[in-house]
Structure formats: structure tokens, C-alpha cells
Amino acid sequence: MKILEIKNLYKSFGKTGVLHGVNFSMEEGEVVSIIGASGSGKTTLLRCINFLERADSGQVLLDGQVLFDAENQGRLTGKELRKKQLNFGLVFQDFNLFPQYNVLDNVMLAPRLLAKERPDFKANRKAIFSEIEETARGLLNRVGLGDKLTNYPCELSGGQKQRVSIARALALKPRILFFDEPTSALDPELTGEILKVIRKLAEEHITMVIVTHEIDFASNVSDKVIFMADGIVVEEGPPSQVIDHPQNERTRSFLQKLNEK
């Protein structure tokens, strides 16, 4: 069964249409990279799937069950929204860390807040928080930041901040991890740090959707590549097709222009 299905998503901001009927699906454990020029709708698509924006029409299905249906679903309450969002983790291009918290606290913050909603929280507060801290420490070790637990974001490089962001997203144990141009704010050396972490996650069969401009990386790490233009999926398939032997003229033109830079 497909873990994620996106059906006919449309989104406009005022009179400006951004998504014009986006459709795609993926299996559990797959890595899907989304490529395309700026303004093609990639980030808006991720934000709609993650409920940071509300699609005007269309559906989002998880494990074959409708998670979102614009036609039959009113505005969600805050609690309903949080419950749906917990299925997905999102790593932003600009890190979005809390500057007043150290690295460990940034990773623990959301799990601690969610833990307070557990019926057994008052009786088991110490044990629950201890487990959350152990998990956070393990995740930071996993991304190579075990020696930075007490540092604050202002003391970190861009690559280190992004690795904290990845650990923070993983702390909530999402079904699917989304990346929105995770290396766009980094120089080439720091970009390599992040791509190495994502590659390791792919080897661990973490289900991921990656919006990226790193075409070589997308080619090497992805099970499927989606090329978007003007708010639609123009072409999708394995990297050997979409990147190495594109079938659509728009895909060929996009890749050719990248090669000329």
C-alpha cells in the first residue's frame, strides 16, 4: 500500500494560482526528490501537505486513509491540526531554531510539550522527560552533534544548525520526513555535511520527500524524482529516466540550463 498519495491539489494566493492539480504517490521507505525552477510550486506543495497552508481543493491520503479533503473538511481545531501534522516532519531551509534554547532543548521542546497531553503525564513526568532526553541525545549523536548539546544556535555553523533541525524533526518520529531546500542557505562545504546526513537516513530507509536544487544528489539518493513546473508535475520516475534521460521537453530544458551555469 502507498504510504502517501497526493490527489489533484490546487492552491492559489489571491488571484495567483500556484498549484494546478498536483498528483503523486510514494511507498514507505522511498526517497522522493522534487526538482524544478523557483516559482514552480515546490515549497507550496510541501506546506500544503504539512498543513502549514490549506489547499483550495484536492486530497492528501496516508496509508490509504484520507488525511485531508478540501471539499469535505472545514477548518481544523488546533488539536486536530497538531495530530495530523505529527505524521510529518519538516526541515526548513532557514533552520527555524529557537535562539533562547540550547541544542538539546531545541530538540526536546516539542516532545515535552506533547508529553503533557498524555493521561499518565503527572504520574510519570520524570520518567517521560528522561526518555525524551535520552532520545534527543541519541538523535544528536546520530547527526554528529553529540558534543554540542549545551551550545546555542548563535554558536553553531549553518550546517550544524541544519543538523539540529533534522534531529528535532526526527524527535517526533514522523511517518514521512520532508526537506525544503535544506542546503540552499549553506556554502558548498557545509552543504556536504547535510547531504551526508540525508544520505545516511536514506540508507536507514527513512521515508523522505526532498525539495532540492542539488541535482547530482537527487540522482544518487532518490528512488523517484519529480520535476515540477508552473504548479504541476511535468515528469516523474526513477533518476535514470528523469535526470539522465528525460522524456519531456520542459524537463530537458530545465536540466540543460542547470548544466550551462
Q: What's the pLDDT tens digit per position in 8-52? A: 999 999 999 999 999 999 999 999 999 999 999 999 999 999 999
Choosing from 149, 174, 199, the residue where a domain stops is 174
Provide the domain limits for residue 123: 96-174
Distance, CA of 258 to CA of 247 (rounded, Å): 17
Number of domains in the chain: 2
Same domain as 248, residue 183:
yes
Q: Does residue 102 share a domain with residue 145?
A: yes
Give yes or no: residues 146 and 186 share one domain.
Answer: no
Count CB neighbours of 187 within 10 A. 11
Determine what percent of the chain is predicted with pLDDT higher than 70.
Answer: 99
Structural domain ending residue among the three candidates 144, 174, 204 = 174
173, β-bridge pairs: none
Pairing of strands 88-91, 176-180: parallel
119-123, 186-190, 193-197, 204-208: which has the minimum mean pLDDT?
186-190
CATH number at residue 30: 3.40.50.300
Residue 61's H or E segment, with its range, is: strand 57-62
Handedness of CA 27, 33, 37, 38 (dihedral sign): positive
Judgement on whether residues 242 and 227 belong to the same structural domain of the protein: yes
131 and 233 assigned to the same domain:
no
d(CA 115, CA 102): 20
> Are residues 33 and 113 part of one domain?
no
* Element of type H or E holding 136: helix 121-142
Q: Are residues 72 and 186 in the same domain?
A: yes
- For residues 214 and 181, give the distance between their C-alpha atoms in angstroms, rounded to a whole number: 9
Beta-bridge partner residues of 61: 5, 66
If asked whether residues 11 and 45 sit together in one domain, one would say yes
Residue-wise pLDDT for 60-111, tens only, equals 999 999 999 998 776 777 778 888 899 999 998 888 999 999 999 999 999 9
In sign, the C-alpha dihedral spanning 105, 107, 110, 112 is negative
Residue that terminates a domain, selected from 174, 201, 230? 174
